[in-house]
Amino acid sequence: MMVRDFEQYSAWRQGVVNALKNYQTWMAGAALTDAATEQRIVRTLTRLADDKLSVAFVAEFSRGKSELINAIFFAEYGQRILPSAAGRTTMCPTELLWDASLAPSIRLLPIETRADNLSTGDYRDQPAAWTVLPLNLDAGADIHEAFKQVSKTRYVPVEEAKRYGLYDEDDPDMPVTLDDNGHVEISLWRHAIINFPHPLLKQGLVILDTPGLNAIGTEPELTLNLIPNAHAVLFILAADTGVTKSDIEVWRNHIGAGAGRLVVLNKIDSMWDELRSEDDVNAEIERQQANVAHILSLEPRQVFPVSAQKALVGKINHDVELQARSRLHALEGALFNELIPAKKDIVRRHLSEDLQALSTAQQGMLNARIRGIVEQLHELKSLRGKNHSVVAHMMRRIDVEKKEFDASLFKLQATRAVFTRLSTELYTCMGMDIVRDDIEQVREEMQRSRFFIGVRDAVRSYFERTRANLDAAERKTIEITEMMGVMYRRFSSEHGLTLALPMPFSLAPYRDEMASIEAIYYKTFGTATLITTSRVVLMEKFFDTIASRVRGCFKAANNDAEAWLKVIMAPLEAQIRQHKDQLKHRLASIQRIHDATDSLEQKIDAFERSQQELEAQKMRLNELAGAISIAINAEFVALDAAA
């Protein structure tokens, strides 16, 4: 069922890609494309190619998290793929995905990288920093053994653990974790990426297996990036332990109720009792389900009781009765019936916006061509029965029109100068140099003030400066858009060009991303008043990830702004070239008629054929745009039937 749902989603996505490529190919053949159009199509196709659906599994250790992943995704392998045993089997955040450009492997980031001022995200672009272990797909035992790497640990002195931000000397429970030599057990790895050709991973699924809940607070990549950006989060509790204080804190601070957020009550088999009736067991499960829902402020139907271990055994042994008793099917249905449609709606909304912009631009270009043909036909037909002096007068009128249009182009050059100045000012507000300098300033302030309050104030000021830079940049984009809008309207009114207003651009998505980062930061540190060394170290580690996210955000904003600035004039310039060509052809046509080198009726026939061809192109353009719209709005049979 899961594979089929993902295959249907992938088929829907591929249908949109095919329709979009047909549109792109036809437009290129009809000479209807320009830089702005081509850029929009390429970016849309790239977004579809990179489309992923991520599912995060969050739980304290010994809740059966890895076993649940095995039961949902890997039962067809006939054995456990992820290590699953009593105690802690996932010591570092682990992503399971498929990248066809890489060999099947496990990439492991050493824990020592936590001592540097770089986030896990920064290291993704540094292949040399990772330890790579190949996966032998022909040997299931070898795969299972390789996957055990995520649970490897080592013992280090307290000072080393503190340097990595993994030992809180102010926590009264920490000393009891030391071994006889006074050393601390830490994970061997900071992050793991498993590149595995599983059918669902090939369809774009990304699975995130997180360490215990204590890591949620100490690994900023989880808190600031991976968990908030997951399309679905499964929060796993255990029937034999109930809801703990740390469970409640993580649920309220890092997950919370919302779309794609599911609570799983695992290990219900601990309540199975052959000395009790099935009705009594089910009633006990329902009571615990209701209790969990009450504590987490949910409806009971939002809590899914399951037995991951029995579900895995049932699937491997093809025991239908055991699978039914494990109740996993209800969770799987909720997960995929919520995950895929929600993701599809997001993609569909972006695609619809892109299609509307594409269709408007190309229709405008075709309408301009048709209008030019109609005007020339009107001129030619008005010459029937007229003498040479009338024709000569028309030639002079077209020549005057051409000179007036050429004069308008000088105004455009003046606009270009202002455009260049505003573009420079835009980059001054949001350039990567500013981002780098701001980050260095915060780190310097952190070094000067080793107290928690001072460090927190430095980060707060950083967010204020970053927000001010984005606001200033947004004002520049508005100024550029308004200036270009005036130019577009001037050419439209003075020369009859059919021009849609410039392609809009907004920094709002990046401001929203910054706001979400800031909100997570304040939720974690905003109200705390403890002035402890461990809190300062933790905040510094969080700032490394904050800085990485901000760099990524500003880099994307700069790339988008640069692409926008390159093409904002493209539709205007394309129609200017087209209009100049039409004026030149009109003048040449009238000249030939004046010189009696062309038959007037032949010329009229040729233009009428051109008009018919353009009308046919317009119909074909509508058909291709309609095909994209149909592909975007296509539904999944299985999901709709289930709904």
Q: Is the pLDDT of residue 286 over 60?
A: yes
> Residue 275 pLDDT > 70, yes or no?
yes
- Res. 532: pLDDT tops 60: no
In which region does residue 505 sit, left (phi positive, over 0), alpha (psi from -120 to 50) or beta (all else)?
A: beta
Return the amino acid letter for 275: L
Query: Average pLDDT of the chain?
Result: 82
pLDDT of residue 313: 94
SS3 238: strand
Contacts 24+ apart (CB under 8 A), 527-535: 528/452, 529/452, 529/453, 530/170, 530/452, 531/451, 531/452, 531/453, 532/168, 532/170, 532/452, 533/169, 533/170, 533/450, 534/162, 534/165, 534/167, 534/168, 534/169, 534/170, 534/171, 535/170, 535/452
Which pLDDT score, from 0 to 100, does residue 642 have? 38
Q: Do 117 and 544 meet the contact criterion of CB atoms below 8 Å apart?
A: yes
- pLDDT (mean) for 363-385: 77
398-407: per-residue pLDDT in tens? 777 777 777 7
Predicted confidence (pLDDT) at residue 483 exceeds the cutoff of 70: yes
8 A C-beta contact, residue 338 and residue 259: yes
Which pLDDT score is estimated for 29?
87
Q: Looking at residue 74, what DSSP letter applies?
A: I
User: What pLDDT score does 639 carry?
Assistant: 40
Alpha carbon separation from 167 to 186, 214, 218, 303 (Å, rounded): 9, 11, 10, 34
Q: What is the pLDDT of residues 601-634, one digit of tens each?
A: 787 888 888 889 988 998 998 899 899 989 888 8
Radius of gyration of the CA atoms of the chain, in A: 32
Burial class from Cβ neighbours inside 10 Å (0-12, 13-18, 19+) for residue 476 reads: buried
23 burial (CB, 10 Å; 0-12 / 13-18 / 19+) is buried
Beta-bridged to residue 186, according to DSSP, are 154
pLDDT in tens, 569-588: 766 766 777 777 777 777 77
User: pLDDT tens digit string along 71-80?
Assistant: 988 888 777 7
pLDDT in tens, 409-423: 776 777 778 888 888
Residue 210: pLDDT over 80: yes
What's the rounded Cα separation, in Å, for the pair 591 and 303? Answer: 81
- Assign 535 a pLDDT band (cuts: 50, 70, 90): low
SS (H, E, C) 500-522: CCCCCCCCHHHHHHHHHHHHHHH
In-domain check, residue 500: yes
State the residue range of the domain holding 520. Answer: 385-596
Strand partners, 235: 58, 263
Q: Encode pLDDT of 217-234 as tens digits.
A: 567 777 777 888 888 889
Mean pLDDT within 418-437: 89
Share of residues in the chain with pLDDT > 70 (%): 88
Residue with token string 């046919």 = 616
Q: Which residue has the tokens 């260095």?
A: 440
Contacts of 95 (CB under 8 A, 6+ apart): 191, 192, 193, 194, 206, 207, 208, 209, 226
Angle between helices 508-525 and 533-567 (to 10 degrees): 180
Which of 315 and 528 is assigned the larger pLDDT? Answer: 315
495 vs 332 pLDDT, higher one: 332
- CA distance linking residue 235 with residue 64, whole number of Å: 11
Does pLDDT of 566 surpass 70? yes
Output the pLDDT for position 460.
Answer: 87
Task: Check residues 50 and 435 and name the one with the higher pLDDT.
Answer: 435
Q: Is residue 376 part of a domain?
A: no
Residue 448 belongs to some domain of the structure: yes
Instruction: Look at residue 358 and tell me if it is in a domain.
Output: no
pLDDT at 385 (0 to 100): 66
Distance of alpha carbon 316 from alpha carbon 54, whole angstroms: 25
The answer on pLDDT for 314 being more than 90 is yes
pLDDT at 638: 41
CA–CA gap between residue 90 and residue 151 (Å, rounded) = 5
Write down the pLDDT at residue 516: 87
Rounded alpha-carbon distances, angstroms, from residue 533 to 15, 130, 168, 451, 525: 55, 30, 8, 7, 14
Residue 98 included in any domain? no
Confidence of residue 637 (pLDDT cuts 50, 70, 90): very low
Q: Is 564 domain-assigned?
A: yes
Q: Around Cβ 322, how many Cβ atoms within 10 Å?
A: 17
Check if the beta carbon of residue 470 is closer than 8 Å to that of residue 514. Answer: yes
What does the alpha-carbon distance between residue 253 and residue 426 come to, in Å, rounded to a whole number? Answer: 36
Tens digits of per-residue pLDDT, 49-95?
Answer: 878 888 999 988 778 888 999 898 888 877 777 776 555 556 788 89
Who wins on pLDDT, 599 or 200?
A: 200
Residue tagged 């980062």 (tokens): 517
pLDDT (tens digit per residue) in 145-188? 778 888 888 999 988 888 888 877 777 777 777 888 889 888 89
Residues 404 and 574: their CA atoms lie apart, in Å, by 18
Q: Which of 12-16, 236-240, 636-640 has the lowest mean pLDDT?
A: 636-640
Does the pLDDT value for residue 491 go beyond 90? no
**Structural domain total, the chain:** 1
251-270 pLDDT per residue, tens: 887 787 777 889 999 999 98
**204 belongs to a structural domain:** no
Long-range CB contacts for residues 489-498, cutoff 8 Å, separation at least 24: 490/408, 490/411, 491/408, 491/572, 491/575, 491/576, 494/404, 494/408, 495/405, 495/408, 495/579, 496/371, 497/368, 497/575, 497/576, 497/579, 498/364, 498/367, 498/368, 498/371, 498/575
The C-alpha atoms of residue 298 and residue 257 are separated, in whole angstroms, by: 7
- In a domain, residue 360? The reply is no
Angstrom distance (rounded) from CA 429 to CA 514: 16
Residue with tokens 């998505």: 509
The whole-angstrom separation of Cα 398 and Cα 586 is: 8
- What gap in Å lies between CA 190 and CA 574, rounded to an integer? 52
Exposed, middle or buried by CB within 10 Å (0-12, 13-18, 19+), for 507?
buried
Instruction: Answer whether 539's CB lies under 8 Å from 4's CB.
Output: no
Predicted confidence at residue 149, as pLDDT, reads 82
Whether 234 and 56 have beta carbons less than 8 Å apart is answered as yes
Through-space distance between the first and last CA atoms of the chain, rounded to whole angstroms: 15
CA distance 47 to 51: 6
DSSP one-letter code for 55: E
CB 351 within 8 A of CB 47: no
Contact (CB, 8 A) for 158 and 182: yes
Task: Provide the sign of the torsion angle of the four alpha carbons 197, 200, 202, 206, taken in this order.
Answer: negative
Beta-bridge partners for 56? 208, 233
**Residues 66 and 89 sit within 8 Å (Cβ to Cβ):** yes
Name which residue leads in pLDDT, 31 or 450.
31
